[in-house]
Amino acid sequence: MAQISAIRGMNDIHGQQAIAFDFVTETAQAVLQQYGFQSIRLPIVEKTELFCRSIGEVTDIVEKEMYTFNDRNNDSLTLRPEGTAGCVRAVIENGLAHNQIQKLFYMGPMFRYERPQKGRYRQFNQFGVEVFGLASVDADAELIALSARLWEKLGLENLELQINSLGSQESRAAYRDILVAYFEAHRAELDEDSLRRLTTNPLRILDTKNPDLKTLVANAPKLLEHLDAESIEHFEHLKNHLEDLGIDYVVNPNLVRGLDYYNRTVFEWVTTELGAQGTVCAGGRYDGLVEQIGGKPTPAVGFAMGIERLMALLIDQGVVPETSAQDIYMVLVGEQVQRPGMVLAESLRDAFPELRIQMNCGGGSFKSQFKKADKSGASFALVLGDDEVTQQTIVVKPLRTDQAQKVVAWDALVETLAQEFSEI
């Protein structure tokens, strides 16, 4: 029968990739907890209208990337393309943003109908962080500080922080006219997408991926030069915080981000090591969004990391082992070994919750079991044969050093292993 394959752009994550995935998400969770953030878990499907209203009708995501379908009740639903919209919806619906500060994180799959390539998939995972109720720049700076700490914890190098300010709605509206005049004067050089955007959402032309427009965009008037006074001050304070914290940054005046809801601070962490898919983390302030979705006016700032892109970087930079090594492999050969072997394995798991203990299941010769023990990466094999069972002993055999093996009584095993592991 024909084999059934996965859907294009939707990948199974296994082996070394899975190790990298867990490493990223567990490390991120630990860092977020260190900063006093709380976990929130959100639905994968939302009403389509939520994304149209928040991300913006004239964005790549809403125009052509969403997985939208009618359910059996004929309601239009969408697989979430990003996490912020759902998080804002949840915060409003559960009354979490009213007169209080919320610092939240979440993770999970997102869906976008894009052309699959390295670092760009149709189902991918994001780790998202959102802060509600703080208009002050300390919140923006703390988010950047915690992301910098995460790269350090992951052992990632060569990430560049790019920042920009989008100003207020009003200063952006004034800039929009200036930008339109500039692009109108260069109409002939624009591509089809940009021509359309010129009337619908001209700022988005700055975010074009078309290399032919690079020079035109680089020479465009800069939003940074048309900001309102308060946004300029906010941006200056952000830079001061980053300098105090020793976090290097580059001001990228063309950083406008792919979603419409941002104002003031926007930032991205970028690497040159993943080709065109170089942004591993992106975010910014979105003070108007909560109100736009029907909540009370609530300032907010957040970011999202692409877990697959971080995984690829970690693997390329050699940070992730190919398999997760075991600490102990139990070799069991004989008629009488299964029952005491299982009991011993469980008692060791009680005594050493931090050790990875693999018990050989399914039998096999000494030779084949030792082969598996060696492949597992374990530091020690514990060997149980019928003679050992009769004498209530077990053999502790170092697999990675030339030290001699020891015969140890069952009731001295925990103590012996504690000693052995304290020496490696």
The distance of closest approach from Cβ of residue 275 to ligand ATP in the complex, given in angstroms and rounded to an integer, is 11
Question: Considering the complex, what minimum distance in angstroms separates the CB of residue 64 from ligand ATP?
Answer: 12
Of these, 46, 140, 260, 308, which contacts ligand ATP (CB under 6 A)? 308
Please state, in angstroms and rounded to a whole number, the distance separating the CA atoms of residues 311 and 318. Answer: 11
Q: Residue 361 in contact with residue 376, Cβ under 8 Å?
A: no
C-alpha distances (whole Å) from 417 to each of 106, 355, 408, 413, 420 are 39, 11, 10, 6, 5
- 304 near ligand ATP, rule: CB under 6 A: yes
Query: Is the distance from CB of 55 to CB of 259 less than 8 angstroms?
Result: yes
67 marked ligand binding residue: no
Closest CB to ligand ATP: residue number: 306
What are the residues whose beta carbons fall under 8 Å from the beta carbon of 237, sequence distance 6 or more?
137
Torsion of CA 79, 259, 302, 157, to 10 degrees: 100
* Paired strand residues for 108: 126
Q: Which of 179, 282, 290, 301 binds ligand ATP (CB under 6 A)?
A: 282
Site for ligand ATP in 335-354 (CB under 6 A): none
Can residue 377 be called a binding residue for ligand ATP (CB under 6 A)?
no
Work out how close the CB of 274 gets to ligand ATP at its nearest, in angstroms, rounded to a whole number. 9
Q: How far is CA 421 from the centre of its chain?
A: 33
β-strand pairing of 406-409 with 279-285: unpaired
DSSP three-state, residue 367:
helix
> 84: annotated binding-site residue?
yes
Our finding on whether 48 is near ligand ATP (CB under 6 A) is no
Q: Is 301 in the site for ligand ATP (CB under 6 A)?
A: no
The beta-carbon contacts of 179-184 under 8 Å, at least 24 apart in sequence, are 179/203, 179/205, 179/206, 179/220, 179/221, 179/223, 182/220, 182/221, 183/216, 183/220
Provide the mask over 234-273, with x wherever binding to ligand ATP is found by CB under 6 A and - wherever it is not. Answer: ------------------------x---------------
Cβ contact 227:258 at 8 Å: no
Is 279 among the annotated ligand-binding positions? no
Q: In this complex, which beta carbon is closest to ligand ATP, that of residue 223 or of residue 304?
A: 304
**Residue 29 in marked binding region:** no
- Minimum distance from residue 269 beta carbon to ligand ATP (Å): 8
Q: How is residue 262 written in tokens? A: 């941002």
Residue 205 vs 344, nearer CB to ligand ATP: 205
Stretch that binds ligand ATP, among 36-44, 115-123, 292-300, 333-341 (CB under 6 A): 115-123
As annotated, the binding site for L-histidine includes 82-84, 112, 126, 130, 257, 261-262
Contact residues toward ligand ATP (CB under 6 A) are 82, 112, 114, 119-121, 124, 126, 258, 277, 279-282, 304, 306, 308-309
As annotated, the binding site includes 82-84, 112, 126, 130, 257, 261-262
